[in-house]
Amino acid sequence: LGDRRSEVITIDAKSGAGDFVHMEFMIPSRGLFGLHARMMNATSGRAVMHHTFERYELMRGAIPQRKAGVMIATATGQVTAYALDALYDRGIFFVEPGEKVYEGQVVGEHCKEKDIPVNVVRSKQQTNVRASSKDEAARVRPARKMSLEASMEYIQEDELVEICPSSLRIRKRLLKETDRKRHERKKHL
């Protein structure tokens, strides 16, 4: 909780309550984004969280953002297992084969700090020549699905959360890669 700019108010081990501890913190509202999910994961669902508004204060400082970059779709279409299989070593995906994506949509988290464009709609080239050995089947891994709260915590300044009745997507503010590069050059001038 320290990186979320919180202060410890009290820590009280409840007598007769077994291994339960009552803890009170003073934390900015923006530090609460994603905290509930992290607490549930860390305690295997046993934590109980409650928060109330205390008062307005001056901003205590920045809350650290994610360090990893993202993978951005370069084309519009349906995600293919063939394309994902070739890209699994680059990071974790938020999409599964068969989902529709568009250019500029964030489709995964890159294992390094830099954002990279990826083609997740690429399909295997078909030829009339058949090999004696069968083609290796694509290994499909489950996609990481995020809630609205987790998505809002995840995004950076140049990203948006798109909420639709059937899906929740993260996208870049500027969809086209050329527009994003042009904007970066202008920012550094």
Phi, psi of 152 (to 5 degrees): -65, -35
Residue extent(s) of CATH 2.40.50.250 domains in the chain: 70-125+134-188
Among the four given CATH numbers 1.10.3720.10, 3.30.450.90, 2.40.50.250, 1.10.10.1100, the one describing domain 70-125+134-188:
2.40.50.250
H helix runs in the chain, sequence order: 35-42, 81-87, 148-154, 177-188
pLDDT tens over the chain, length 189 residues: 667 788 888 888 876 666 788 888 888 888 887 788 778 878 888 888 888 888 888 887 887 777 889 999 999 999 999 999 989 999 999 999 999 999 999 999 999 999 999 999 998 777 766 655 555 566 778 888 988 888 888 888 899 999 999 899 999 999 999 998 898 888 877
Global pTM value: 0.73
Q: Taking Cα atoms as reference points, which of 45, 63, 72 lies closest to residue 4?
A: 63
- 185 burial type by CB count under 10 A (0-12 exposed, 13-18 middle, 19+ buried): exposed
C-alpha 122: how far from chain center: 23
C-alpha dihedral sign at 148, 151, 157, 159: negative
Q: Taking Cα atoms as reference points, which of 85, 96, 129, 92 lies closest to residue 109?
A: 92
